[in-house]
Structure 1
Amino acid sequence: MLDFSLSDEQQMIRNSVRAFIDKEIIPLETQVLRNEREGRPGLEPGQLQQLQLKAKRAGFWGFATPKEYGGAGLSAIMDSLICIESGRTFVPFNFGGYADNILFSGTESQKKEYLIPAIEGERVSCFAITEPGAGSDASAIRTRAVRDGDDWIINGEKTLITGGHEADFVIVFAVTDPNKGASGGITCFLVDRKMGWRSEPIPTMSEWSPASLVFEDVRVPSRNILGELGWGFRLAMEWIGAARYETASVAVGASERLLEMAIEYSKNRVSMGHPIAEYQAIQWQIADSHVEIEAAKYLVLLAAWQAENGHDARHTSSIAKLIGSITANKVVDRVMQIHGGIGYTKELPIERWYRKLRVYRIVDGSDEIQRRMIARNLLKGHVKLGVIGA
C-alpha cells in the first residue's frame, strides 16, 4: 500500500515555512529587483543575516543539521519540502544553521574549526571541484596537491564556484595520486583563504555570481585533509547526490509559484471580450504545466524518501534533477508566453525567473550528464525496469 500523505508534523512544518516565506521574504522581491537593476546585491549581507536571525527566533534553523549540532535534524523528505517552499521566491535568502554535508566527515578538531562556525554563521564555505576543463566530468580534474613533508602544495584553478568570492574557506578537491584515478587518487582539503588562494567573481546572465579560484603554491597542512587520503571523489559524489534532489525541489517550488502567476493573470487579462483563461491555447499550457510539475514533485520526493530510508538514491536523484530542471524552464517559458509582451519586460519579475532557472539545467550535473548516468545504469543492469520502491 502506497501512502503519499504528509504526517501532521510535516504538514505543520511545511505550512509554517510557507507562512514565513509569504510574510517575510516574498514582499522583498520588489526591493531585490530594484537593487539588482542598479547593480547592487539583491540583499546586503547584514539584511540576510537579520532575516536568518528572525527565522531562527521562529524556530527555523538548521533544518537538516543533526540535533547534536544545534539543528532540527529533519529528514530528507522534510528537507525536500522546505526546499520546495524556499523555491517559491527568487529573493536570495537561505535559512541559517546549515553546513555542507561532507563537513560532518571531519575530525573533531576540523569540526571545531570549520563545521561548528559554519553552522553558526561565523564562517562561510564553498565547494570547489569544477575546473575549466573538468565540469560535469569531475573525475577529470587537474588541480594537483603534492606532498611536501607534513604539508601539501596545491596548484590549479577552479571555476564557476558558488559563493567562492565570499567564502573564507574552501572545500577543494585535488589530485594526490594520478596513478590511482578518481577512485583513489583525489583528495579533499579544507583550505582557509589566508593560506593564499584568491578568487575573482564571474558575471553571469542571472543574479548567480560564481567565482574563479586560483591556487598557486598554496601550502596546506595534512591535518586539513577531509576524510582520508584518496577519498575525495566519494565525498564529492556524496555532496552532489544531496544537491541534486535539493536543486530539483527548488525548481518545483519555483514552477508552482510561476504557474500561480499565470493562472491569476489569465483570469484577469481580457482579449477580444473574454478572459484569456477561456481560450484553449491558454488552458492547455496551464494543464501541461501542472501535469509536469506534479510528475517532477513526486519523483523529487521519491528520491528524498530513498535517501531517508537508506536506499541508493543516486539513480532517482538523477531522474528528479533532470525532470525538475527541464520542467522549471518549460513552465517559465509558458508563463512568459501567457503574459505576452508585458511578461518579457522588466516591469514583471518573469524575466528574472527566466534567467534564474536557466542555470538549473547546468549546475549539479547538466541535463546531458543526468541522461548519461540514467542510460548507463539501465544498459549495465544497475537499475531494473518495473521495480517499485527501492
Structure 2
Amino acid sequence: MYLRLTDEQKMVQETIRKFVENELIPLENEVLRNEREGRPSLSPAKLEELQRKAKESGFWGINTPSEYGGADLGQMMQAIVSMEVAKTFVPFTFGGSADNILYYGNEEQKEKYLIPTINGEKKSCFAMTEPDAGSDTQNIKTTAVKDRDEWVINGEKTFITGGNEADFVMVIAVTDKERHQQTGREGVTCFIVDRDMGWKSEYIDTMGEWGPAALIFDNVRVPEENILGELHGGYNLGLEWIGFARWIVGARAIGAAERLLQMAIDYSKERKTFGRPIGDRQAIQWQIADSAIEIEAAKWIVLNAAFTLDQGEDNRHIASMAKLYGSNMGNRVVDRVMQIHGGMGYTRELPIERWYREARLWRIYDGTDEIQRMIIARNLLKGHVKVGQFI
C-alpha cells in the first residue's frame, strides 16, 4: 500500500486548485448576488468561457474514455478533482462528460445522445424518483405501455437534478406490472426521451440553491429504438447510476469542509474577545481539531471508494460509507464554522449560511442517511462484507 498521491496526482491537484483559486473563487460575490436576486448563478456565456479555459488546461472529460476525447484519468483523479472544485460554491463542473449509463447505448444512441452530451451540445437528466418512490424504488408507478412500435409513458418524476434544463431524460418506467409487483426489481425499463416528445418540467423551490424539477409524462410516445439497455433491465441501470454518484457526494463534502475549516482558522486568529484571539480558547480549538480529524477520516473512505472502482471491483458498500460519513461530516463542520463565526456567520455578508443550507441536502439526495445505514448493515448481517476485512 502506498498512502500518498503520485507525482501525477499531485500535479493535477495543484493545477485544479490554482484554477479554482484564480477563476472560480473570485466569482463568489457575483454568484451570491445573482442568486439572491433570483438570477442564474452564472450566465451561459461565463460558464462556456470557464469550460473553455478548463479544456485548454487539459481537463476535459475527467473520466470520459479517450476515444470520445476525454482525459480518462480514473476514479481516484475524479475524487481529487471533486474535492478541489467543491472548495467553492460557484456552480462549475468540468465539461466533456456524460451520465455513466449513457455508455450502454447502441451506436445510434451514442451518436444521437452520448457524443452531443460530451461535446456540451445537449443536456441530460436521469429520472427515477417519484412522489411515492424515493429510496423505495420498488414503488415506482410511472408506466410505459407498448403500442405497436412505440411505448406510451405516463407518470410523474420528482426532485430531478437538471430536469429544468435537460434536452432529454433517461427515465425509468414499469413495462411489466406483474413482474415488477412480484419482484420489485424486474419489469422496469430505461427510456431515452427527448423533451420535444412531450414531457414537461416544473421547478421545485427548495431552501437551498438547488432547483430540481418535477417531470410530467402525459401519454408521451417514445419509439422502440429509444430503449436504453435491455427491455425490463432498467432497474440495474438505475442502481448503477445512483451508486456511481453516491461516493462523489462525500468528495464534495470534503472539499467544502476544508474551505470552511480554513475560514474558521483564519477568523479565530483575527477575532478577539477579552483581549485575546478566540483561537486561544479551548472551546474553539476543540471544534477546529474535531473538524480536521473528521475531514481526514472522510477523505480516506472516499479515496478507498474511488480506488476500489479503479481496480474494477464492486465499491457499493464503501460508497455508502463514503456518502453517509462524508455528508454528515460536512454538516457537522459547517455548523461548527458558523458557531465559531458567531453572529457574522449567520448573516448573508458571509457565504457560510449558503453552505449551511446546501450541506443539509447532502444527507438526503442520492440515498438518505437511513438508506445508507440499511445497506451497510444488511451487507454485514448477510455476510457480504466481513468485519475486519479490507474493503
Instruction: State the TM-score, normalized to the length of structure 1.
Output: 0.98
- Judge which range, 270-279 or 175-184, deviates more: 175-184
- State how far apart, in whole Å, the 1-side matches of 2:326 and 2:32 are: 25
Partner AA of 2:322 in structure 1: A
SS in structure 2 at match of 1:180: helix
Partner AA of 1:386 in structure 2: G
Q: Is the 8 A contact 1:191 1:224 kept in 2?
A: yes
Any residues of structure 2 matched to 1:204-353 within 5 Å, and which? 204-353=206-355
Q: Is the 8 A contact 1:183 1:230 kept in 2?
A: no
- State how far apart, in whole Å, the 2-side matches of 1:192 and 1:110 are: 12
SS in structure 1 at match of 2:48: helix
**Residue equivalent to 2:147:** 148
CA drift of 1:272 comes to 0.6
**Residue equivalent to 2:121:** 122
- State how far apart, in whole Å, the 2-side matches of 1:138 and 1:272 are: 56
Partner AA of 1:275 in structure 2: P
**Residue equivalent to 2:195:** 193
SS in structure 2 at match of 1:179: helix
Partner AA of 1:81 in structure 2: I
Any residues of structure 2 matched to 1:106-121 within 5 Å, and which? 106-121=105-120
- State how far apart, in whole Å, the 1-side matches of 2:23 and 2:206 are: 27
- State how far apart, in whole Å, the 2-side matches of 1:52 and 1:141 are: 37
- State how far apart, in whole Å, the 2-side matches of 1:387 and 1:363 are: 29
- Judge which range, 236-245 or 316-325, deviates more: 236-245
**Residue equivalent to 1:13:** 12
**Residue equivalent to 1:375:** 377
- Judge which range, 379-388 or 271-280, deviates more: 379-388
Could you list the per-position Cα deviations for residues 299-319 of structure 1 after superposition, in whole angstroms to 9, with x for gaps in the alignment? Answer: 000011111101210000000
CA drift of 1:139 comes to 2.3
- State how far apart, in whole Å, the 2-side matches of 1:86 and 1:139 are: 35
- State how far apart, in whole Å, the 1-side matches of 2:28 and 2:79 are: 23
SS in structure 2 at match of 1:292: helix
SS in structure 2 at match of 1:184: coil
Q: What is the alpha-carbon root mean square deviation over aligned residues?
A: 0.8
Could you list the per-position Cα deviations for residues 7-60 of structure 1 after superposition, in whole angstroms to 9, with x for gaps in the alignment? Answer: 111111111011101100011001001111111111122211121111111212
**Residue equivalent to 1:31:** 30
- State how far apart, in whole Å, the 1-side matches of 2:191 and 2:372 are: 27
SS in structure 1 at match of 2:178: coil
CA drift of 1:178 comes to 1.6
CA drift of 1:378 comes to 1.0
SS in structure 1 at match of 2:11: helix
**Residue equivalent to 1:68:** 67
- Judge which range, 313-322 or 53-62, deviates more: 53-62
CA drift of 1:379 comes to 1.2
CA drift of 1:65 comes to 0.4
**Residue equivalent to 2:177:** 178
- State how far apart, in whole Å, the 2-side matches of 1:29 and 1:188 are: 38
How many aligned residue pairs are there? 388
- State how far apart, in whole Å, the 1-side matches of 2:76 and 2:343 are: 39
Partner AA of 2:6 in structure 1: S
Partner AA of 1:219 in structure 2: R
Q: Does residue 362 of structure 1 match 2:364?
A: yes
- State how far apart, in whole Å, the 2-side matches of 1:201 and 1:234 are: 28
- State how far apart, in whole Å, the 2-side matches of 1:325 and 1:277 are: 26
Query: % of aligned pairs identical?
Result: 61
Instruction: State the TM-score, normalized to the length of structure 2.
Output: 0.98
**Residue equivalent to 2:86:** 87
**Residue equivalent to 2:204:** 202
**Which 4+ stretches in 1 moved above 4 angstroms?**
none
CA drift of 1:136 comes to 1.1
Unaligned runs of 5+ in 2: none
- State how far apart, in whole Å, the 1-side matches of 2:38 and 2:196 are: 29
